[in-house]
Structure 1
Amino acid sequence: MNHRHTGFDRLPVVDVSGLYSDALDTRLATARELDRAARAAGFFYVTGHRVTRAEQAALVDAAKRFFAAPHDWKMRYYIEHSIGASIAHRGYVPEGEEVFANGKRDRKEAFDTGRDLAADDPDVVAGTPMLGPNLWPDQTGFRTAVDAYYAAAFALGQTLFRGFSLALDLPETYFERYLTKPPSQLRLIHYPFDASAQDRPGIGAHTDYECFTILMPTAPGLEVMNGEGTWIDAPPIDNAFVVNIGDMLEVWTGGTYVATSHRVRKVAEERYSFPLFFACDYSTVVAPLPQFATPEAAARYAPIAAGDHLFAQTAQSFTYLKTRLARGDLALPDGAKALASFGQQARYTDD
């Protein structure tokens, strides 16, 4: 039976400092807390991490300076310019570029980065989508701040994956074999304040396509759908990250963990948001783990290529890629799922 979230009215808080302990019993106790939060809500706050305030502040400052620049200058780094041997999907995302399953254009701008691979990397030369060099803007300190934050947040993701491994009764390093060169994206997102705007989504309801997401927001606006189909506010907590289950962990756990639908509403102040979408390697084939491979789970969750799923969802939501699809310059991977195929959003009518 697929797990149904509870009718939670606030997100759980998990102190993950125990995952850094040398004592296995302490790590196991923290893993059980992660498991409870993942099952009950699929969305939770994480405290006790090791991403420093200085690393967080430097990223926020770099983003503010970038997004404050003139539009024409930012468009020098338009994300379509990152197409080379592969579709690296790096660079500036102007307002309206991204459109989710409800067909509404998002009220935000973004800058997408990832693991900075050389142009002669074998996977890049082979044309693997979502992998490649970053498109760095000519802005003092930008690359330094992004690289430092990416490394720290990625290390937290590795720690969380060890916790999830323990929570799922797997060897603690089970998932590390799938994390050699993942297309884990770090997005810098800016939601401008518009006092005249009606209350409407700034980013449409969706799930995240990867394993899980580590989010640092600067202001309220995030809403999460609970197990009763009700939207719940998820305001920032000082020095805490918001973590949510993504599509691939839903598949691996046969629906025991559910990718939680979420959206961003109009906010009362300018908002910046920094999600690291923690992915597994592009070629990873994800299917329910043996302990979750019930007949129902096997029927619902056919094996899925993680990278192909990420690329297909991206190609169906970004205008520059949809244009290439329409021209026939690009094709979706075989068996590509439509947008919003995971999570409880599919179970309820969006308001």
Structure 2
Amino acid sequence: MSLSNFMLQPCIEVGFFYLINHGIDQKLMDEVLALTKRFFDLPTEEKTKLIFDKNHRGYTPMAKEILDLENSTEEVSPGWRTVMEKYYFEVLKLGHRIASLIALSLELRPDYFEKMFTVPMVAMRPLHYAEGKFGSGAHSDYGLLTFLLTDDNSGLQICKEKDAKPQEWLDVAQRKGAFIVNLEDMLERWTNGLYRSTLHRVVTKGVDRYSVSRWDND
């Protein structure tokens, strides 16, 4: 299968794809998920000592958002900052590589999107979906690309036809070692609707679920 067909089919039809053989060490990915679980397992009074600031860095209680941990100065558990910063920059490099592949799939220069990233906002969010809670309501993401690292618990669902009545939701299975990549609203607009930003949600299924998302927004 050619690069063009490889990128075009999932980007046009679904807006989601699995990314394997991406070059990021599985040990690092496992450490990130372990530290995420360790943090959310802390007592509430410990987490609220790290409450998010005006730059949206830090802990965000239920029903609020956290946007950017890049410059966080808190050390919530041993190795937290070292591991999370290493992961952040590894996935940042990966994001540029995938943006180049997307450009090639559109028959553009591989560096076509680089001019869009002179002052980008790149955010990383460790997430905990608690047992018995809904998770995340239906939405599409508003930037360029999301790279999702998840534990072994399912819950992510996509809706390929958001205007259908009733809507049909499809489960996205977890794959060890793979990122789930989804295209965001900005890329859909830049391609005049050729590539899709698909409606998705998270539904917990009787277990706690941990994940880490990282996305680009211009």
Deviations 1:151-177 (A, max 9, x none): 111111111100010011111111112
Q: Aligned to 1:69, which of 37, 42, 45?
A: 42
Scaled by the length of structure 1, the TM-score of the pair is 0.58
Structure 2 match to 1:220: 154
Alignment-mate amino acid for residue 51 of structure 2? Y
Deviations 1:78-98 (A, max 9, x none): 11xx22xxxx22111111225
Structure 1 match to 2:57: 90
Mapped contact 2:33–2:150 kept (Cα < 8 A): no
Q: Aligned to 1:206, which of 134, 139, 144?
A: 139
Deviations 1:214-260 (A, max 9, x none): 10111100000023541100021111111111011011011111211
Gaps of 5+ in 1: 1-25, 99-110, 117-132, 281-351
Q: Quote how far apart the aligned CAs of 1:135 are.
A: 4.6
Structure 1 match to 2:173: 235
Q: Quote how far apart the aligned CAs of 1:193 are.
A: 2.0
Does 1:191 find its partner at 2:125?
A: no
Report SS of the residue matched to 2:125: strand
The higher-RCO structure (CA 8 Å, 6+ apart) is 2
In 2, Cα distance between the equivalents of 1:34 and 1:92? 36
Alignment-mate amino acid for residue 97 of structure 1? K
Mapped contact 1:50–1:152 kept (Cα < 8 A): no
Structure 2 match to 1:176: 114
- Which structure: greater strand fraction? 2
Report SS of the residue matched to 1:92: coil
Change (3 A) 1:181 1:62: farther
In 1, Cα distance between the equivalents of 2:79 and 2:68? 15
Change (3 A) 1:89 1:189: same
Mapped contact 1:92–1:112 kept (Cα < 8 A): no
Mapped contact 1:77–1:135 kept (Cα < 8 A): no
1:51-200 residue pairs with structure 2 within 5 A? 51-79=24-52, 82-83=53-54, 88-98=55-65, 112-114=67-69, 116=70, 133-194=71-132
Scaled by the length of structure 2, the TM-score of the pair is 0.91
Q: Quote how far apart the aligned CAs of 1:136 are.
A: 2.5
Q: Quote how far apart the aligned CAs of 1:31 are.
A: 4.1
Higher alpha-carbon Rg: 1
Gaps of 5+ in 2: none
In 1, Cα distance between the equivalents of 2:12 and 2:170? 17
Instruction: State the identity as a percent.
Output: 31
